[in-house]
Amino acid sequence: MTGGGAGAPPAQRVLRPGLRFLGERWRVVLRLGAWSVLETGQTFLTGYAPARALDEGFLAGRVGTGLVWLGVAGIGVLVGAYGTVRVYAAVAALVEPLRDRLVARVVARGVREGDAGALSGLTQQAEIARDTFAGLVMVSRSFVFTAVGALVGLFSLAPLLLVVVGMPLLAGVALFAATLRPLARRQEAFLVADEALAERLGAVCPGLRDITAAGAEEQVADGTGDRVDAELRAASSLARWSVLRVVSLAIGGQLPIVLLLATAPWLLRNGVTTGALVGALAYVTQSLLPALSNLVHGLGTSGSRLVVVVRRLVRNSTRETGATAGSAREPSEGPPRTGGALPARLPRPSGNPPEAPALSVTSLTFAYGPAAAPVVQDLHLTLAPGTHLAVVGPSGIGKSTLTALVAGLLEPAKGSVRVCGHPVPGAEAAACRVLIPQQAYVHTGTLAENLGHLRPDPVPEEELLAAAGAVGLLPLLETLGGPRATVDPTALSAGERQLVALTRAYLSYAPLVLLDEATCHLDPEAEERTERAFAERPGGTLVVVAHRMSSARRADRVLVMDGRETAYGTHDELMRCSALYRDLVGSWTPVPSEPALALGDPDRVDAVAGPGLAGDGRHVVAHRPVGQMQAPRDLRDGGPLGGQP
């Protein structure tokens, strides 16, 4: 299936090798023709035998003669059945080499490229090509021999019948032939649109949860919606052209019946016998109409599908041999360059209110059901841009729930959340944050595609490598073969998937990054490196749901969640003030006699204090209504949080 000329029109690129293929097998083609004559020879008898049976037998009062002719027709059917068996064998002899040739090419390519995925996909296409080709050989051959048999029969019965049946048949076939090319183009456009949509849905559907978590809904919805629209347009166009196929069938197959009936008196007056008229009707209804119908449906649908599949296989073959100008494989990349300076500053989504806090949570209350106890209650929290916050607390206390509320995945019962000044939920807020959950989402495709998933623009390779270096993905990136290497998500460990997802978040323009145990599969050193990278991300604000206390130590601020009581401060402050935090850290620190946190600006929303502030030895404060408590000055940038009134 090579050749055809790289610059030849697409149809020729398929047609020429196809004709050459048939030419090389002219003996098989001849054999197929011979058996087809036998198979469809009975077509001649379909009309001729009943006509003779009527005219020379039953209508002439010679029942025996009539029965003999019917017997001849019966023998014709038996001989035709034998011919059909031999036809199948001949078709197999023609089709199997095609399959073998296509598969050989595909396997050669797969072995050369070590691309098992492409191999199985293309092998499947070769099977489709084989089946479709076999179907086409059957219907087109059947139509040709059936038409010849029927037309010869009609001529033998009465030349006038040939005119009445042959003219509309010719017109129908001509119309059908004229629609073939436009139909094939539309069929191909539809298949391409269908595949594009299926590919998109295959990538999107398994990762819906993570797409939502990462705030990429709109981006994904846009891309998917475009493909749905494209398929709809392609399907509508194909449907319009398919109507012409039905018209051609009506003209070529059904109009002759109408004409035979309508002109019957005139035909009988002009020497056509009753038997010949019945024979002509038998030709049309028993042979021509079914054969034309098979041809129209078979060639119209399968034919264009075959063209698409073979064209694809041919294109891959020519690309593999370098025959198509400009389509030779790109040279495989060497190991990626390491190092590279980090971008000076990640661009922020435009339209953020100036000086807006990166995160602002007000009176936030949420419960999983109307009767359920609130998981988050009257929480206040404000984070200035650049803050690195760790969220800690016992298991099941509500840390993930809080990140989901901030990301807009859950709707609060009360209170509000703003990200970069934009209300949550909302498209602007969604564009300003990225949430990486524990289960990292990696889709099939290249590493570069995976890493640039949250970026509307292509990510320059230098920036990509710099991000990979910062987050700790570089060793994996080198092992996989660089940014353009294809990733098989199932072949990655959980930690490796997390590194991919983390680098993707790092590359996004979202100023606020929420890591919900997103580093839980990394070792402590890798986790530290990653968190530091995010903390140093220019202009970035980081919220980490920590599963190791080392994460909290690294953070500027720590939020200790403890049901209705919540504490907030630096690590040192909380070590002094929060028994729970000390428990979590695993080291008990005596309660200081001095207030852990200095009283601050009374105008600020507040809710944080320590045992010293409460003065009652309790480790968590956050018991006063918002506005009645005061935040320490040193939390002004990080902002306060609230507890229950």
Ligand X SMILES: Nc1ncnc2c1ncn2[C@@H]1O[C@H](COP(=O)(O)OP(=O)(O)OP(=O)(O)O)[C@@H](O)[C@H]1O
Residues near ligand X (CB under 6 A) are 368, 375, 393, 395-401
Nearer to ligand X, 398 or 612 (CB): 398
Question: Which string of DSSP letters, residue by residue, matches 49-95?
Answer: HHHHIIIIIITTT-HHHHHHHHHHHHHHHHHHHHHHHHHHHHHHHHH
Place of tokens 């922020």: 348
Nearer to ligand X, 320 or 562 (CB): 562
Nearer to ligand X, 306 or 391 (CB): 391
**What's the closest the beta carbon of residue 387 comes to ligand X, in angstroms?**
20
Nearer to ligand X, 199 or 583 (CB): 583
**What's the closest the beta carbon of residue 490 comes to ligand X, in angstroms?**
25
Least Cα distance to 577 among 616, 539, 534, 624 occurs for: 616
**What's the closest the beta carbon of residue 393 comes to ligand X, in angstroms?**
6
Least Cα distance to 345 among 116, 511, 144, 162 occurs for: 511
What residues contact 502, with CB distance under 8 A and at least 6 apart? 436, 440, 471, 473, 515, 518, 519, 530, 534
Strand partners, 144: none
Nearer to ligand X, 397 or 626 (CB): 397
**What's the closest the beta carbon of residue 219 comes to ligand X, in angstroms?**
25
**What's the closest the beta carbon of residue 361 comes to ligand X, in angstroms?**
15
Least Cα distance to 336 among 447, 502, 483 occurs for: 483
Nearer to ligand X, 161 or 397 (CB): 397
In which element (H, E) is residue 252 found? Answer: none
**Alpha helix positions (H), 205-273:** 208-213, 217-249, 255-262, 264-269
| Cα–Cα distance for residue pair 531/390, rounded to 1 Å | 10
Cis bond upstream, residue 385 (ω within 30): no
**What's the closest the beta carbon of residue 602 comes to ligand X, in angstroms?**
32
CA 212 to chain centre: 17
**What's the closest the beta carbon of residue 480 comes to ligand X, in angstroms?**
30
**What's the closest the beta carbon of residue 396 comes to ligand X, in angstroms?**
4
What residues contact 338, with CB distance under 8 A and at least 6 apart? 465, 469, 474
**What's the closest the beta carbon of residue 517 comes to ligand X, in angstroms?**
6
| Cα–Cα distance for residue pair 61/73, rounded to 1 Å | 20
| Cα–Cα distance for residue pair 48/46, rounded to 1 Å | 6
| Cα–Cα distance for residue pair 532/528, rounded to 1 Å | 6
DSSP code of residue 338:
P
In which element (H, E) is residue 383 found? Answer: strand 376-383
Nearer to ligand X, 341 or 372 (CB): 372
Nearer to ligand X, 46 or 400 (CB): 400
**What's the closest the beta carbon of residue 411 comes to ligand X, in angstroms?**
13
Nearer to ligand X, 103 or 410 (CB): 410
Nearer to ligand X, 76 or 398 (CB): 398
Nearer to ligand X, 395 or 490 (CB): 395
**What's the closest the beta carbon of residue 437 comes to ligand X, in angstroms?**
10
Nearer to ligand X, 110 or 393 (CB): 393
Neighbours of 19 (CB within 10 A): 11
Angle of helix 116-157 relative to helix 289-297, nearest 10 degrees, comes to 160
Nearer to ligand X, 273 or 401 (CB): 401
Q: What share of the chain is helix, strand, coil (3-state, %, to 5)?
A: 60, 10, 30
Nearer to ligand X, 66 or 398 (CB): 398
**What's the closest the beta carbon of residue 494 comes to ligand X, in angstroms?**
16
| Pair 440, 210: CB distance under 8 Å | yes
| Pair 18, 310: CB distance under 8 Å | yes
**Token pair of 616, please?**
């009652």
Nearer to ligand X, 114 or 396 (CB): 396
CA 301 to chain centre: 24
Give all strands of the β-sheet with 359-366 in edge-to-edge order.
376-383, 359-366, 414-419, 422-424
CA distances from 642 to 377, 398, 515, 619, 621 (A): 8, 15, 22, 15, 9
Nearer to ligand X, 147 or 542 (CB): 542
| Cα–Cα distance for residue pair 574/436, rounded to 1 Å | 26
Burial class (CB in 10 A: 0-12, 13-18, 19+), 167: middle
3-state secondary structure of 378: strand
**What's the closest the beta carbon of residue 336 comes to ligand X, in angstroms?**
35
**Alpha helix positions (H), 432-570:** 447-451, 461-471, 474-480, 494-507, 524-535, 549-554
